[in-house]
């Protein structure tokens, strides 16, 4: 008896919890005009089944082709989405704010993909100011419609980046990716130092400098751990990084006097970040300028945030190898990278 009472209480608790969850996630349609026709299907060719009026609120059952199916007392019907505004899930009820599920694309060349993952193809580039209709949500992605195009956009790409009134790096999230690590040593230098250790050293100095300037810095790995390339990009995506900087060193053991620095971008809109960093690093180090170019590297390809990969010099070159062991030269490279990032944020 006691047992079953407890069970009943327990079940009620579960039901209460379930119920409040459902209420919280219900999307509602608010009718914007008077005498809006209600139809039996999503289109004007469907039979008229009634009318709804300004400021009336209904639960949304479904959406299709620019039409919204709303729940009335007993039956449901379809209204054209231009006559309704929709309450978004995550808008707090206290604020009383209602918001239509039409979002404006904040930056040019925003990727629309065929599915909700970076593994899916880019099917369209949305332009700044494009108005897109959100049809559904799948994890961190919106299923959207833009004119005749249907696809998926990573949610964070639609967040208007707060125009920072603070100067430069304050409050910016920067992900630093020290290339290689763990079992993956990378290249080996003229003096047998490992690329993974030199990239880590540079990353530490860079992290310190950026932190001093007020940035929130995240390293993709610690000194000894192996981290997969895709997890490195994921860190950047999940943190909505303002910049992702992957650090590497080059090596051509057969040509020991090969020298120079180059920077890669993958997504064209982030070319300026690569260009500014390259220019500033060359200014500081006076190493040979090997330029900026497109590079098909996974850490920047799967990165949705502004990402670059820098080859900071040839460790197979004994002279450069020696320089890299000094703090003074490391600090020059780091100053160049910091100045480049600051120029990018200031543009
Ligand atoms: Zn490397």
How close is the Cα of 260 to the center of ligand 1, in Å?
Answer: 15
Residues forming beta bridges with residue 29, ordered by sequence position: 58, 86
Q: Tell me which residue of 124, 156, 116 sits closest to 306, measured CA to CA.
A: 156
Whether the CB-CB separation of 225 and 272 falls below 8 Å is answered with: no
How close is the Cα of 87 to the center of ligand 1, in Å?
Answer: 48
Summarised one tens digit per residue, pLDDT across range 155-211 is 888 775 544 444 689 999 999 999 999 999 999 999 999 999 999 999 999 999 999
Q: Tell me which residue of 59, 54, 55 sits closest to 24, measured CA to CA.
A: 59
Whether the CB-CB separation of 139 and 208 falls below 8 Å is answered with: no
Q: In the CATH scheme, what is the code of domain 100-158?
A: 2.30.30.40
How close is the Cα of 269 to the center of ligand 1, in Å?
Answer: 24
What's the rounded mean pLDDT across residues 138-143? 87
Residue 21 has pLDDT above 60, yes or no: no
How close is the Cα of 309 to the center of ligand 1, in Å?
Answer: 9
What SS3 string covers 166-210? CCCCCCCEEEEEECCECCECCCECCCCCEHHHHHHHHHHHHHHHH
Residue 240 has pLDDT above 70, yes or no: yes
Any idea where the domains of the chain sit in the sequence?
23-88, 100-158, 163-346
Residue 6 has pLDDT above 60, yes or no: no
How close is the Cα of 197 to the center of ligand 1, in Å?
Answer: 11
How close is the Cα of 243 to the center of ligand 1, in Å?
Answer: 19
Residue 140 has pLDDT above 70, yes or no: yes
What's the rounded mean pLDDT across residues 248-263? 97
The whole-chain average pLDDT of the chain stands at 85
How confident is residue 218, by pLDDT bands cut at 50, 70 and 90?
very high
Task: Please tell me the predicted confidence (pLDDT) of residue 157.
Answer: 83
Summarised one tens digit per residue, pLDDT across range 67-101 is 888 888 888 898 888 888 876 544 333 333 334 57
How close is the Cα of 119 to the center of ligand 1, in Å?
Answer: 23
What's the rounded mean pLDDT across residues 281-285? 97
Task: Please tell me the predicted confidence (pLDDT) of residue 282.
Answer: 97
How close is the Cα of 178 to the center of ligand 1, in Å?
Answer: 9
What's this model's pTM, rounded to 2 decimal places?
0.59
For 163-346, the fitting CATH number among 3.30.465.10, 2.40.30.10, 3.40.1160.10, 3.40.630.40 is 3.40.630.40
Q: Which two tokens stand for residue 124?
A: 């369209």
DSSP state letter for 224: S
Bridge-based pairing of strands 131-138 and 102-104 is antiparallel
How close is the Cα of 250 to the center of ligand 1, in Å?
Answer: 7
How close is the Cα of 75 to the center of ligand 1, in Å?
Answer: 62
Whether the CB-CB separation of 316 and 187 falls below 8 Å is answered with: yes
How close is the Cα of 344 to the center of ligand 1, in Å?
Answer: 24
How close is the Cα of 310 to the center of ligand 1, in Å?
Answer: 9
What is the distance between the alpha carbons of residues 81 and 136, in angstroms, rounded to a whole number? 14
How close is the Cα of 194 to the center of ligand 1, in Å?
Answer: 10
Task: Please tell me the predicted confidence (pLDDT) of residue 168.
Answer: 85
How close is the Cα of 163 to the center of ligand 1, in Å?
Answer: 34
Report the CATH fold assignment for 23-88: SH3 type barrels. (2.30.30)
What's the rounded mean pLDDT across residues 116-133? 88
How close is the Cα of 186 to the center of ligand 1, in Å?
Answer: 5
Residue 280 has pLDDT above 70, yes or no: yes
- Topology match between the domains 23-88 and 163-346: no
What's the rounded mean pLDDT across residues 34-56? 87
């Amino acid at each position: 008896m006691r047992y079953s009472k407890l069970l009943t209480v327990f079940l009620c608790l579960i039901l209460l919890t379930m119920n409040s969850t459902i209420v919280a996630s219900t999307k509602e349609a608010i009718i914007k005009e008077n005498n809006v026709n209600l139809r039996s299907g999503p289109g004007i060719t469907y039979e008229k089944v009634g009318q709804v009026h300004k400021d009336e609120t209904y639960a949304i059952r479904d959406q299709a082709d620019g039409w919204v199916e709303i729940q009335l007392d007993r039956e449901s019907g379809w209204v054209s989405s231009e006559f309704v505004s929709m309450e978004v899930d995550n808008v707090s009820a206290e604020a009383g704010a209602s918001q239509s599920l039409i979002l404006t694309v904040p930056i040019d060349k925003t990727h629309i993909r065929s599915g909700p993952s970076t593994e899916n193809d880019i099917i369209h580039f949305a332009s700044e100011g494009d108005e897109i209709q959100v049809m559904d949500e799948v994890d961190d992605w919106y299923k959207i419609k833009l004119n005749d195009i249907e696809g998926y956009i990573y949610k964070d790409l639609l967040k208007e980046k707060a125009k920072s009134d603070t100067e430069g790096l304050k409050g910016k999230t920067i992900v630093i990716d020290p290339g290689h690590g763990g079992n993956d040593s990378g290249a080996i230098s003229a003096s047998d130092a490992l690329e993974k250790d030199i990239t880590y050293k540079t990353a530490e100095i860079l992290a310190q400098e950026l932190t001093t300037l007020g940035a929130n810095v995240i390293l993709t790995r610690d000194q000894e751990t192996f981290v997969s390339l895709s997890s490195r990009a994921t860190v950047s995506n999940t943190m909505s990084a303002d910049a992702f900087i992957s650090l590497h060193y080059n090596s051509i053991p057969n040509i020991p006097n090969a020298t120079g620095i180059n920077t890669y971008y993958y997504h064209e809109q982030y070319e300026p970040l690569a260009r500014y960093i390259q220019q500033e690093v060359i200014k500081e180090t006076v190493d040979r300028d090997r330029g900026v170019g497109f590079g098909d590297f996974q850490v920047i390809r799967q990165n949705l945030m502004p990402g670059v990969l820098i080859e900071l010099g040839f460790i197979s070159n004994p002279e450069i190898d020696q320089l890299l062991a000094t703090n003074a030269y490391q600090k020059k490279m780091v100053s160049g990278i910091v100045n480049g990032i600051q120029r990018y944020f200031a543009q």
